[in-house]
Chain A
Amino acid sequence: MAPSHWRERVYRASFLIAVAVLTVGAVAGIGRAAVATRRLPGLAQDPLLEGHRLAALGRHAEAREEFLRTLAVNPWDVALTEDVGKALLLSGDAENALAVFQRARAQKPRSARLHAWVGRALLLTGKPEEAAEACRVALSLGPQDAGALQVVGDVFIDRDLYPQAIDILRRSVAADPTLATAHNSLGVALALAGRPGEAVPAFEAALRLDPTLGTDNRDRARAAARQAGARP
């Protein structure tokens, strides 16, 4: 058989193998997503998708592994690193979250928001003094940075400093009225400060901007306001 004929046969075989692998991969992927999530793969462009799903199912150890392994492949994307830190924080792993936020901050040292996230993680790992310092740096770097102000506000909430939290979260909302999480945090701070009547509009604003936040906070604040005799 001529070498060119052999080459043609090898080329043809490799093409058919590739098509088979691609087809099986696509069908298997759709099938796996359909079984695991009971729907077809969505349109999300999010490598943390599976981690969030596992966290929502309460499989936190697997979720943490999923989140942390992301950075082994792509340590250069600061936004992704920040998302990993937030996901870890939400799943209760403040130690790893702190390391991840510090890594992101090292890549982008002028980011007020990353200093604020480091502050929040420090607080949750039991280092209030260092957390306060990180928040101070965050506020000096981004006095009008809505994201940073919100995280610093959350730190004040965590430290039970509600008047300061309300003040800083109002600044956050003023800097970016479309930031749903800031409205939500403001509602939390107001509710915890014993002002549920004022918290209701904040929760409603958060819900309007991001319906996925859920109505629980608003409903609780409404009930508390009614009980206190205030009209929400």
Chain B
Amino acid sequence: MTATTFAVPATAARKPLQLGRAFVHPAFDLMVIGGGLSLCALAWMKLTGSSAPSLETVALLAFLVNSPHFAASTVRLYTKPNAFRDLPFVTKVLPLVMLVVLGTGLVLPDSIGNQLVALYFTWSPFHYAAQTYGLAVMYSYRSGVPLSDRDKKLIRVACLLPFVIALLDTRGALLSGTAVAHLLAFALAVLRPACVVAPIAIFLAGMAGRGPRLPVISIVTIVANALWWTTLRYMDAFVWATIFHGLQYLAIVIIFHVRERREPEPASRPAAIAPWVRPAAEFYAVCVVLGYLLFQAWPHASVLASLRFSQSFLVIVAIINIHHFIVDAFIWRLRRDPNYAVVTSETGRERAMTPALG
């Protein structure tokens, strides 16, 4: 999920410190979408000394969160109003293009397949950073915090630092030699604390009136992504970042999906919970089924074509990820898009619950 710029409502009130205007409930938005849950999980891991979950836990989380999250971008693409008309290439041609690339990767695993996996590993941290930026900016606008181009650049840099770390942390993969190793180690030693310090500095600058006054949810989102990539080993970070990124993504995509289908409510009438449940559950169920078919059924089909299951599994996972990254770049645009209305929409209930700290 990425963000582009859009106009700030002129009537937006500027508060000295605010949690942020929630979509569902401040606690839900902060913990699930903002990444608060992941901070709790990180604290638990550090306290107990555990790093990676058991294989069974990973499998269950993959079934309930990861796979549906990848499927969710596809489901959203095809359920987004007027998607076939507005995004003809992405909706109609991209799937076949990706299948051709997948086929090439499966037939030539040593030369193309491994490059697809490498691309997926490299792109993932960037994708998470871009999603973090998108969420941080989205909550800012939603909370009535105006952002100048300079502000957005600062936020983007803060969000992209973990990606730079992930890129440099592939020690010896791209370059080798003692001097390079020392240089990389030094760069990582500087960048790791900078990842966490940068969003806090932006927050403090905002408090002092010298920068964007980002809502707490935006800051927590940036800090959470930074901590995933700075406190965990690369592959552990991959496991956990994917789980929490998926959770974040599923929550926000379902919110958008449901809101696009909901009749506008009068501000005076309390919002009903029930109308949310069915479309949300339907959307999630479709994502779970599609995720299962893509990640669990597909690799078995490749064996019928005399391909190795292990290689097919890895290349299929890579191609699903890459497709997800590309689709996301299109479906989360805000400028001149119905997404804008969802971000800035407000119900009576939300207004009543919007907290302001200080």
| Residues in chain A within 8 A of chain B (CB atoms) | 8, 10-12, 14-15, 17-19, 21-22, 24-30, 32-33, 36, 41-51, 65-67, 69-70, 72-79, 107
- Residues of A near B59 (CB, < 8 A) are 42-45
Residue B301 contacts which of A14, A26, A51, A76 (CB distance < 8 angstroms)? Answer: A26
- Residues of A near B118 (CB, < 8 A) are 76
Q: Give the distance in Å from the alpha carbon of A213 to the alpha carbon of B173 in the complex.
A: 37
- Residues of A near B313 (CB, < 8 A) are 47, 49
Do A30 and B297 touch (CB < 8 A)? yes
Do A11 and B117 touch (CB < 8 A)? no
- Residues of A near B304 (CB, < 8 A) are 28, 32
Can you list 8 A-B pairs, Cβ within 8 angstroms, ordered by A? A15-B91, A15-B93, A17-B96, A21-B99, A33-B300, A43-B60, A73-B311, A74-B117
Q: Give the distance in Å from the alpha carbon of A65 to the alpha carbon of B303 in the complex.
A: 14
Q: Give the distance in Å from the alpha carbon of A76 to the alpha carbon of B119 in the complex.
A: 12
Interface of A is mostly: helix
Q: Give the distance in Å from the alpha carbon of A198 to the alpha carbon of B106 in the complex.
A: 51
Number of B interface residues in the complex (CB < 8 A): 46
Do A29 and B301 touch (CB < 8 A)? yes
Interface of B is mostly: helix
B96, B121, B235, B310 interface centre (most CB from chain A within 10 Å): B310
- Which of B107-115, B136-144, B260-268, B328-336 is the contact stretch? B107-115
| Residues in chain B within 8 A of chain A (CB atoms) | 52, 55, 58-60, 62-63, 88-89, 91-93, 95-96, 99, 109-110, 113-114, 117-118, 121, 170, 172-173, 235, 292-304, 308-311, 313-315
Q: Give the distance in Å from the alpha carbon of A192 to the alpha carbon of B111 in the complex.
A: 48
Do B114 and A74 touch (CB < 8 A)? yes
Do B95 and A72 touch (CB < 8 A)? no
Residue A72 contacts which of B52, B114, B298 (CB distance < 8 angstroms)? Answer: B114
Instruction: State how many angstroms separate the Cβ of B185 from the closest Cβ of chain A.
Output: 13
The residue on A at minimum CB distance from B313 is A47
